[in-house]
Chain A
């Protein structure tokens, strides 16, 4: 256990060291609107519901975009900025619920329901197939003996039959 802790500490330290020069370098650069918007569009304004931050027109949102710019100038990563927003304004600034705890339900419930639906449908199919005393082999052989008709698609046949009937009527 202890060894593991030390290992983790080492990894964190080295990654920090690796990150340092990069952030120092970035700090000098001017941050463009596009870089700000790239992060802002994935965040939601905490006061105006359901509006992404990059297109929100309120004074508050303008301040948040400035905040993103400041943080980017300080060399923060996208993940860090998002985390900062969550800490400050709550999980609702994220465009999706964080994948933990109760919120996992949002990701798991629909597939489960749909899966149950598929299973029910599949079982119903089996039942319906069993309902009638139809020999599947019969159909196969039927088709094999009459290759001409199956060449045409059945809809065309449908149509021709209906069409012949109409012709008879018009005469």
Chain B
């Protein structure tokens, strides 16, 4: 423990020094980094979900579809493939009661547009279990493409605040309208889609 230290050369007390530069730089650095992180975190917490007017090109995704569902013959659908079409992106889950309220309306609206092929409905199943999801889809007789949100990546990209939430994308993939909570009537859905045409 004790080491031999050569006799100290100066016996007077040295002049008092300020805080060493490295400590100052580290202190400021850490403080600014911390404030920045918190600032960005705060921004995120406050901005909420993706708003109307947002481009979706930056977060393209490919949604694997549940068994028994397909889009144009494939068992997956990617957002970029849908450019040129109006997209109704609906986030839902089986454990979500309001989702059940709008399930029939969503299907009805889909039946209304399906023959045209101009409007595409996509159901994204948010943190759910597959057997439950399949049972739910069967119960409500939902026919539009549906798939699980693997790794919650799609919902994180849209920063959804809860389910159900529905995003209406125009032909350029730009979000035009966001519905939080369930739809009351089929007409409401159709009305919004028509306004995008």
Contact = CB atoms under 8 A, between A and B. Distances in A.
B86 interface: no
Q: Range of interface residues on chain B? A: 20 to 34
B58 interface: no
Interface residues of A, number: 24
Contacts of B116: none
Interface majority SS on A: helix, strand, loop or mixed?
A: helix
A101 B149 CA distance: 23
Interface of B: 2-5, 7-8, 11, 93-95, 127-132, 148, 150-153, 156
A66 B129 contact: yes
Interface in A62-109: 63-64, 66-67, 70, 86-92
Given A87-B150, A89-B152, A63 B128 contact: yes
Interface of A: 46-47, 58-60, 63-64, 66-67, 70, 86-92, 126, 129-133, 136
Given A60-B93, A133-B7, 18 more contacts: A46-B127, A46-B152, A60-B127, A60-B128, A63-B94, A63-B128, A67-B130, A86-B151, A87-B150, A88-B151, A89-B152, A90-B152, A90-B153, A91-B151, A92-B152, A126-B3, A129-B3, A129-B5
